């Protein structure tokens, strides 16, 4: 049976640990080498073969199962993701000169594949949370490349210029992103915050890459098509996940480096053009050349609608759905009629568990507000029902 290579007093039950811990320290990839009676990192387990003509131990691969077990997001993980997002939004509302962009992934997203890991494909987790994130340095790198492609006075080897009218220039890039010259290093005026995705669903995804030229890259053979490809698993964030980018500008520093960019917030116009270009053509994270990290830019209305839906989903209470279905079947009524009816209010008042009662009320209130009934009940009967909820 595969085990994690940890001290015995920790046990082997890590279901409540974060994905980062289950992918790293608590990865159940190692097996017991019964030949030497010790943990063997080369295999999940080593077993005696069925045919004993040539006695030897056989390795049993467990890589895919081990990485699949690290994908699960616990309710606490989802709560931390939401709290991190809310905290960043609160800080952005208090800070000055912060530009916010909302994106949604249209393909799997991955980053940190070069990090050390037994599977030879790591992943970037934000510690101590152990949850996926896109470092602010990675966002800065993509935006700098987008700005370089949009600047007519910047030459990129092997590439032509984009036929897009923007005011990007080499001077603007250096002022906003900083200098790359080690002999004249200086910090730019922009600060890029880390991005923690709001993950769609309750688990990460496992993708497969299949190198076909291993004999060429790791051996001495010339490239050919008769090699034996080896599938390699790696972690990704599933499509339709939300990514919110915050970029803060040090206005005092920008005023000193490039006053023309600080005037009338011209830096915002430049950054918006760079973000649009990055979303349309570059992508974020690793393996963007083969389609990973592709995203689309969402407008404020769409983002607000998705936030409201996420809020409704977080407040959803199974007790309310169960009662609505039960009362609808007994009275042959429509769910909307049951929702604003007295029987549901009476059932709610009879709940003994305080936590369940509070959760059910929050769900009922959110549904009423979605229909516009909470502040303006549609009938005298609905007004009395509303008062029953207020009474408690």
User: pTM for the complete prediction?
Assistant: 0.76
pLDDT score recorded for residue 296 = 93
In this model, does residue 369 exceed pLDDT 50?
Answer: yes
Above pLDDT 90, what percent of the chain? 43
- Residue spans of the domains in the chain: they are 8-69, 75-298, 316-391
- The CA–CA distances, whole Å, from 74 to 19, 22, 79, 81 equal 9, 12, 9, 11
User: Considering the chain, what is the average pLDDT of its residues?
Assistant: 85
Q: Per-residue pLDDT averaged across 100-110, rounded?
A: 95
In this model, does residue 58 exceed pLDDT 60?
Answer: no
In this model, does residue 306 exceed pLDDT 70?
Answer: no
Q: Could you say which DSSP state residue 8 is in?
A: G
- The strand pairing partners of 100, in sequence order, are 246
Which one, of 28, 26, 30, 25, lies nearest residue 59 by Cα? 30
**Cα(176)–Cα(136) distance, rounded to whole angstroms?**
15
Of the candidate ranges 188-192, 222-226, 295-299, 341-345, the one whose mean pLDDT is the lowest: 222-226
- The CA–CA distances, whole Å, from 76 to 23, 79, 87, 147, 189 equal 17, 5, 16, 38, 36
Query: To 10 degrees, what angle do helices 354-371 and 342-349 make?
Result: 160
**Cα(19)–Cα(196) distance, rounded to whole angstroms?**
14
In this model, does residue 57 exceed pLDDT 50?
Answer: no
């Amino acid at each position: 049976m595969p085990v994690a290579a940890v001290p015995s007093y920790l046990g082997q039950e890590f279901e409540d640990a974060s994905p980062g811990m289950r992918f790293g320290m608590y990865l159940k990839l190692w097996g017991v080498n019964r030949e030497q009676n010790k943990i063997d990192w080369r295999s999940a387990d080593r077993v005696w073969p069925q045919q004993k003509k040539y006695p030897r131990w056989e390795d049993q691969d467990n890589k895919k199962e081990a990485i699949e077990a690290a994908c699960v997001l616990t309710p606490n993980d989802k709560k931390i993701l939401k709290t991190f997002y809310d905290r960043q939004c609160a800080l952005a509302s208090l800070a000055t000169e912060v530009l916010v962009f909302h994106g949604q992934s249209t393909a799997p997203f991955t980053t940190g594949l070069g990090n050390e890991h037994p599977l030879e494909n790591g992943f970037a987790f934000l510690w101590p949370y152990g949850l996926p994130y896109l470092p602010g340095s990675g966002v800065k790198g993509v935006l700098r490349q987008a700005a370089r492609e949009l600047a007519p006075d910047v030459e990129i080897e092997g590439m032509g210029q984009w036929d897009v009218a923007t005011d990007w220039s080499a001077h603007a890039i250096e002022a906003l992103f900083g200098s790359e010259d080690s002999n004249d290093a200086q910090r730019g005026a922009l600060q890029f915050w880390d991005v923690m995705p709001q993950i769609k669903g309750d688990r990460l995804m496992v993708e497969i890459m299949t190198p076909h030229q291993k004999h060429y890259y790791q051996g001495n053979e010339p490239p050919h098509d008769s090699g034996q490809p080896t599938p390699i698993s790696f972690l990704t964030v599933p499509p339709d996940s939300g990514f919110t980018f915050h970029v803060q500008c040090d206005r005092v520093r920008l005023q000193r480096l490039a006053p023309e960019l600080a005037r009338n917030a011209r830096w915002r116009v430049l950054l918006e053009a760079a973000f649009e270009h990055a979303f349309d053509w570059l992508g974020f994270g690793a393996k963007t050349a083969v389609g990973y990290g592709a995203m689309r830019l969402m407008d404020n209305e769409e983002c607000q609608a998705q936030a409201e839906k996420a809020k409704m989903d977080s407040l959803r209470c199974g007790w309310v759905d169960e009662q609505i279905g039960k009362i609808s079947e007994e009275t042959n009524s429509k769910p909307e009629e049951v929702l604003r009816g007295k029987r549901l209010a009476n059932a709610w008042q009879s709940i003994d568990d305080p936590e369940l009662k509070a959760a059910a009320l929050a769900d009922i209130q959110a549904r009423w507000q979605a229909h516009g009934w909470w502040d303006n009940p549609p009938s005298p009967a609905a007004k009395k029902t509303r008062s029953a909820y207020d009474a408690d």
